[in-house]
Structure 1
Amino acid sequence: MIKNKHLVFTLPYILWLALFVTAPLVLIFYQSFLNINGHLTWDNYRDYIHSATYLQMTFNSVWYALVITVITLVVAYPVAYVIAQLRSKDFWLALIILPTWINLLLKTYAFIGLLGQHGSINNFLRFIGVGSHQLLFTNAAFVWVAAYIELPFMVLPIFNAITAIPTSLINASLDLGASRWQTFTKVIFPLSKSGVAAGIQAVFIPSLSLFMITRLIGGNRVITLGTAIEEHFLTTQNWGMGSTIGVVLVLAMLIVMVLTDDNNKKGGA
């Protein structure tokens, strides 16, 4: 009877994984071996490896994802640490999470309004006599907007890790003569590494495949694997090459997960 109950509860989860995780991955992997005419071939992987354009896109994707992750980590850790010390921590955390409830496309268009030639920022610059500048369709604008959108996903796991640290450990460190800085570097930060690793996963992995922000904010000046996948599936109709790039992204994401899992184990030890 107990085994039947377990099966009833786990069956929907198994079906969900099979239909919406395993099946799409298998389909993408199979599709990556098809050319534009639907014939089996290795040409997609050969073209990817020998193409300087695709290798440059891969480098751009990893580089921008790394920059976005570093920026969000530098901003998110102090924010999470300060919020964890406040009495009304739930209120401030809700304010940070609130933007995630807004549709990504709406937030992106909001930044277009802010950064455009006639946007709020340029209007303010003209008002103070600095003059308008080309803020939209630049690499800096893309990184800034992407970091803003991904920021809550870095703050939340770090906040949870910091709040999970027993207060008695921090008090013991201070009572034994450690300074605030020593307590942070020797107690708080090492014990919050699991949150940092989870935040890196939550930010770096989605940042590898960004394409909407690169189109609308970067203005096609920022070319990544995400934009290449969109181009192959929606424009050139070369689904095989698009799937090949998708497989490369999946492998990159798995590598990131393995690396951050190792950090998690070390931090736990």
Structure 2
Amino acid sequence: MKKSKVFGLLAVVATAFLLVSCGKKSDSSTSSKTTTITVGASAVPHAQILKHVQPELKKEGVNLKIKVFQDYVLPNKALAGGDIDANYFQHIPFLKQWNAKNKGNLIDAGAVHLEPIAVFSKKYKNLKDLPKNATVLVSSNTPDYGRVLTIFKDAGLITIKKGVDITSANFDDIASNPKHLQFKHSYEPKLMPQLYKNNQGDAVVINANYAVQGGLDPVKQSVAIEKSSSPYKNIVAIRPNEKNNKAIKKLVKALQSKSTQDWIKKEYKGAVLPAK
């Protein structure tokens, strides 16, 4: 009886040890398969698009966390400081200017979509209808100035000085302005929809993300809109040491996939355009 009890006790201990060992192995295996990354993004449409690819990334072993920012200042600071793993809110000219001003080295990991900047007016139905000395309200986001100038140039309202790179142009680069349009550019980007709704200025230039967020339709309500051939496509930005990060590569691949690009086209009805 004593031997039987001893053998029985040993069997129970061995079984328990085996179960604990198996349990530990399973937990380790599970954690090794999942990688968590945090991506900073503007609320609309960036965070929405990221949320769309979350289920697909989960299948790929990537736990995507989204941190929403309400401005264009903090996302790059957070990325450079290591608080997030990537961000998705800006175009390349903006990134280049930020790097130059802040001695940064953030890089482009891939283009996803274009938010066509548009001109809105409650007073005129066509950009060419603007009268002499009309006031055009523009945000203080200087990397967008080339986009604004291109719209007015294409409408035949201004010309640009020869030899000027339009992606880094500003209002001092206007060569001719027959109607003497007054470009006022001292407003926060997120305030532009409210300025338009309050009937401020003769025309208001609004980024598509803030237009959509403010309940506006850039395609149907604007008097002029940026062409899809624009070089201002929105990108995923990362630190240089993350360029071989497999989880981020999976993120970019999911965002650039045909299914996601088709979803962007359908979801935003032209207010946001696929990059590919």
TM-score tier by shorter-chain length is under 0.3
Q: Which protein is richer in strand relative to its size?
A: 2
Give the structure with higher Rg (CA).
Answer: 2
**Under a length normalisation based on structure 2, what TM-score does the superposition of the two structures give?**
0.25
Answer 1 or 2: which has greater helix percent: 1
